[in-house]
A and B are shown apart, each in its own frame.
Chain A
Amino acid sequence: MFSNIITIARRSIQQLVRDRRTIALIIVVPLVIASLIGVSLPNKAVLNQTLPALLAVLILFFGFLLSGISFLRERSQGTRERLMASPVSRGDIIFGYLLGFLLFAILQTLVLFFYTVYIIKIDFMGDLWQIIIFQILIGILAVCLGIFLSAFARNEFQMVQFIPLIIIPQVFICGVLFPVNTQPEWLQWIAKFLPLTYGVDGIKAMMLEGKGLLDIGKEIAVLASYAVVLMALAGISLRRGHVA
């Protein structure tokens, strides 16, 4: 059981590592975007206010994209059929992917975070490592979201369409740019059901108010529940006897 998870995680890492250009993009693209955000914002105060939430968005976005496309390719290149005919369970497959892509999500988180802190030099409060742990939680959620949604996409084109559908509304509704409570009431109500709201709340509480992980238990619980539910739903999409 556990060795299957490791085997699948190891393979998904091997796959990305052998693709040099993708690896380079994984590291460079978030930095380019962070830099652009850094120079585009009018002043340091706005930057300090906005960047924490944008960090949450970037982690969600890249984790989602990377794991979603990889998982989808498993179907399009036919290896999923092979895996499903093998003794591995769907839990093995999902946790294997989660573990493999988590490493990339952590890598991206660290690169992005240290870049914004030491190169862009934003001011923040709170404990560095606690913030990183919270971001990794967002990374886990992103991987689960990617795996889950790739079950509904038949090909890469459809998967790419999910990005604007899933990510962009959350950016506007979940308090990344403007606080949630400045929106119409019905939108605030919708925001309550979107995971990014809790990611943004959590990271703002930490970086802007200096709170620790223990103070944002609710946000952590909601994000973790989302991750668990998405994984369970992804598992349903991988039932044996339904591969075609």
Chain B
Amino acid sequence: MNITAIEIKNLSFNYGKLKVIDDVSLEIAKGISFGLLGSNGAGKTTLIRLMVGLLKPKTGSVFCLGKPPSPATARNIGYMPQLPSLYSELTVYQNIDFFARIYGLRAHNTRNQRVDEVIKLVDLWPKKNVSVSQLSGGMKQRVSLACAIVHNPPLLFLDEPTVGLDPELRVHFWEYFGNLTAAGHTLIVSSHTMDDAAHCQKLIFMREGKVIALGTPDELRGAVGKPNTTLEDAFLYFIRHGEVKSHVQ
């Protein structure tokens, strides 16, 4: 069995003249949660879109579960876009049920069971038959997560899943993500917050489309070389470090 979930080689991407991903090479092992950290516009969403196959690399290559992303690999992938992408007229149940069908949960009984299960998981049981348009922002975010995990995919891309969640749910989500990786699932999570970063087994810091640091949270803290460094300090350190480097060039 292949042990890498994602293999990226010399990947570059640009929107017109704007270089958004700049020569990124990266391997992500199976069974871990992997964090993509970076400021606004660093290229996290673009990198995820390239990994799921929504965008094609301009140069370089992406292998997702051993193959270039395609409809065939899509079945094993769950994708939660940054903005809750839901059918606002439909109910919570109808949205999740739709994606369950799309991802091949055909049998009526198992599908119903699974849809109910994920609704309870994101703590929206009382809202099961409410239109998505009538939910709060955080609730929509939870429905969006439910749609991404309903088919129990081995590889899960979550673009800022914890934005807009209250602290209690954030903890609850990370508990659930921990269960998933313990069961062998791979999670790729983008975020701004170092609180999320601390939950990842491995992570990268991104800046202007480049990977400026890669490691476990401990390694990244250690690299700064000062005692009691927080991840936040480490992030700022690497951001500045990167700036120094580009000035030198």
Stretch at the interface among B84-92, B112-120, B201-209: B84-92
Complex partner residue of B102 from A7, A19, A81, A241, CB under 8 angstroms:
A7
Cβ contacts A9-37/B at 8 Å (1 or 0 each): 00100111011000000000000000000
Q: Which of B15, B84, B103 contacts A86 (CB 8 A)?
A: B103
Decide yes or no whether A133 CB sits under 8 A from chain B: no
Query: C-beta contact mask, B79-102 vs A, less than 8 Å → 1, else 0?
Result: 101011111111100100011011
Question: A88 to B87, Cβ gap below 8 A?
Answer: no
Give Cα A120–Cα B91 distance, bound, in whole angstroms: 40
For the complex, what is the distance from the CA of A77 to the CA of B147, rounded to whole Å?
15
Given A15-B87, A77-B88, A3 and B106 contact (CB-CB distance below 8 Å): yes
List the B residue with the shortest CB-CB distance to A16: B89
**Residues of A contacting B147 with CB < 8 Å?**
82
> Across the interface, do B131 and A18 meet the contact criterion of CB distance under 8 Å?
yes
- Is B225 in the interface zone, CB < 8 Å from A? no
Known contacts A15-B89, A18-B89, A89-B71; A3/B81 CB under 8 A = no
Interface of B with A (CB < 8 Å)?
15, 49, 52-56, 70-72, 74-75, 77, 79, 81, 83-91, 94, 98-99, 101-104, 106, 131, 147
Residue numbers of A with Cβ under 8 A of B are: 3-4, 7-8, 11, 14-16, 18-19, 77-79, 81-89, 240-244
Some 28 contacts from A to B, beta carbons below 8 A apart, are A3-B101, A3-B106, A7-B102, A11-B87, A16-B89, A18-B90, A18-B131, A19-B89, A79-B86, A79-B87, A81-B85, A82-B85, A84-B54, A86-B74, A86-B99, A87-B71, A87-B75, A87-B103, A87-B104, A88-B102, A89-B71, A240-B54, A240-B70, A241-B53, A241-B55, A242-B56, A243-B54, A244-B49
